[in-house]
Amino acid sequence: MSSDQQYPYGTHDPYGQNPPDPHVTQTWEGQTWDTQYQPVVEPGQHAPYPQATPHPHGAPYPQAAAETAYLPPVGAAPGAYPLPPETPAAPAAGPVPGAPVAYGPQGASYGPAAEPPAAPVPPGGAEPAYGTPTTLGNARVTDAQRARAEGRSPIIPPGMQPAGLTALTGLLLAATAGVSPYLLLVPLVALQGLTAAGWFRLNGMWPARQGIALAFAGGLVSDAVLLTAGREHAPAALVGTLGVWVLLTLVLQLRSHAAPDERMHGLMATIASAALTIVAAGFLAAAPDAVAAGGAAVAVAALARALPLPGAVSVAVALLAAAGAGIAAGAVTGAGAGAALPALGAGVCALVGLRVASYDYPSRFVHMTAGVALPLTAAAPIVHLLGRALG
């Protein structure tokens, strides 16, 4: 930057040794807001010196800068045109007393801080029905997320739709048990698949394709062993398959490169899922009359538990309905009133399975998998044991 740009009204004289001539008008040489009116210099007047040539290193020559700082008077020339009159600017509004003053960056004007625009209020004074927009995709809040945010109980029952699927699966087990064990495999395999997937999702492990496939394979192997060995060797077949699958799970987890905590979590979830899937094969090992009574009892208990009743009343109604369904199934199969005991035990296990599937803010996927399968899976061992006890 040249010295005439730094000091447009003359050279900088901090000690006052060269005072400016009062008869010479100082004008600005450079870009102005109006370029239509420029002073005209006659031939007899002293013309201004040309602008100083910048120094190669960036510093201007001081003599040329000093000579170009003074220009001839504007009004003395007969051919000069006067500048247009200046219009005074409107006075700026002063700060309101008591209002906060916004201090911006250097060169910014100072004034009262602008109030942020108020959010639009819906008619009637009600709160807006929707939150702020988002650019991260679907921001729909699930029931589990809303319950967690509001600090409500972590127990969320599956509801009527999973209860209806549980009832349908239980009735299919009850209807096919007395026909053929191979026909019983159709609802049983579906039950084992839902159990394997639902338990992993209930533990917060998703996706877990390897663990789900391993647990489901354990259930299929136990079904094959039971069909081969027969009902009389059912306990040995179930325990042997479970032992082999626990050993296989340990070997696979030892080959994993995950962190120790994650590896232990995966080990426990895989063993538990495989155990539940293998235990569900107990419907193949139980007597057909006990399977019919247990399947009907679980179906009725799940539907009764989904009704909007108080907690204790709902449990009592579900157990009474399970016992009644067992008696009705015993009357159909010829087992009589003795089928009420395995039916009542199956009803208690079904309530336990529903409670497990309702824990820790479950998602909809958990309700449609674990919420459907766990009531029947939990009832399988009690149906097998009570059926053997009743002969």
Q: Give the residue, 156 or 146, on which the prediction is more confident.
A: 156
Q: By the 8 A CB rule, do 294 and 346 touch?
A: yes
Q: What pLDDT is recorded for position 316?
A: 95
**For the residues 346-353, what does the mean pLDDT come to?**
95
Distance of CA 146 to the CA centre of its chain: 12
Looking at every residue in the chain, the average pLDDT score rounds to 77
Q: By the 8 A CB rule, do 170 and 296 touch?
A: yes
Respond yes or no on whether the N-terminal peptide bond of residue 207 is cis (omega within 30° of 0): yes
Cut 0.85: pTM above it: no
Task: Quick: pLDDT tens for 262-296.
Answer: 888 888 999 999 999 999 999 999 999 999 999 99
**For the residues 171-186, what does the mean pLDDT come to?**
93
CA–CA separation, 34 and 26 (whole Å): 17
CA-only gyration radius of the chain, Å: 45
Which of 1-10, 86-95, 145-154, 197-206 has the weakest average pLDDT? 1-10
List of residues 6+ apart from 55 with CB closer than 8 A: 61
CA–CA separation, 56 and 66 (whole Å): 19
Task: Quick: pLDDT tens for 68-112.
Answer: 545 555 544 555 555 556 555 555 555 555 555 545 455 444 455
CA–CA separation, 190 and 254 (whole Å): 30
Tally: H helices and E strands in the chain: 13, 2
List of residues 6+ apart from 123 with CB closer than 8 A: none
